[in-house]
Structure 1
Amino acid sequence: MARVSLEDLRKVAAPVDRAKIDATTEEDIRRHMIEDGEDPDAEPTGYRLVWPIAAIRSRLGMTQSVFADALGVPVATLRNWEQGRTQPDPAALALLRIVEREPEAAFRALGVAYRAPAERQG
């Protein structure tokens, strides 16, 4: 297999027909799905929506320091997760999913005092 440098790859134009993409309508996409045997009205399956960790933290109204402390991880670890330098392990991902869906219950189980942002404003 021939080796090609990243620099060489960047010099080659991608074989993408932008005009064709721009001209494609939702009806075209629907028609192609039907032709391919797919149901365009079916709910997509086989994926799970993952909220960016910084978005979860922001929605909870917490600083990096407070959120990291609540999760029991170093602030540097949280920063690395948020900036995409490292990925949380499966246990941390499970905890983050629980915190995202049920923050009050998650923090109560962790023994962390938490009030939703709307409650803080009153």
Structure 2
Amino acid sequence: MTEKRDDITKPRGEADADAPLTDDEFDRGYGATLARRARAATGLSQVAFAARYGIPAASLREWEQGRRAPDAATQSYLRVIARMPEAVAKALHDAA
């Protein structure tokens, strides 16, 4: 079982730097990587990315900063955006 830290928003200190990540810490870090990778593939600002792909800007900011993890469906959406940003944007535009 993974030990939980009292304050999950506190950066890991020297004392617990070698401690294994909790499941929550891992999920938030993985979500941050997915969000950053998807946005980097577009070259857009957070606000422009959020508007283009229908994601609340505040949620995107929380994911990229590792404060929250996107749910499984959103993680899949971010993976698709990272691989095919223009196709996703076109599909969303055509569907509107």
TM-score normalised per structure 2: 0.58
Q: Which has the higher contact order (CA 8 A, sep 6+)?
A: 2
Residue 56 (1) aligns with residue 38 (2) = yes
Q: Which amino acid aligns with 2:41?
A: R
Pick the aligned partner of 1:98 from 55, 80, 95: 80
| Maintained 8 Å contact 2:38/2:79 | no
Q: 1:105 to 1:74 in 2, by over 3 A?
A: same
Q: 1:92 to 1:54 in 2, by over 3 A?
A: same
Residue 86 (1) aligns with residue 68 (2) = yes
Counterpart residue number, 1:66:
48
Once the two structures are TM-superposed, the CA of residue 50 in structure 1 deviates from its matched residue by: 7.9
Q: Which amino acid aligns with 1:108?
A: K
Pick the aligned partner of 1:108 from 85, 90, 95: 90
Once the two structures are TM-superposed, the CA of residue 94 in structure 1 deviates from its matched residue by: 1.1
TM-score normalised per structure 1: 0.47
Larger CA Rg, structure 1 vs 2: 1
| Maintained 8 Å contact 2:47/2:57 | yes
- Segments of 5+ residues of structure 2 without an aligned counterpart are 1-5, 7-14, 19-29
Counterpart residue number, 1:76:
58
SS at match of 1:111: helix
Structure 1: distance between partners of 2:43 and 2:78: 15
Aligned sequence identity (%) = 39
Once the two structures are TM-superposed, the CA of residue 69 in structure 1 deviates from its matched residue by: 1.1
RMSD value, Cα: 2.8
Paired residues, number:
68
Structure 2: distance between partners of 1:104 and 1:74: 19
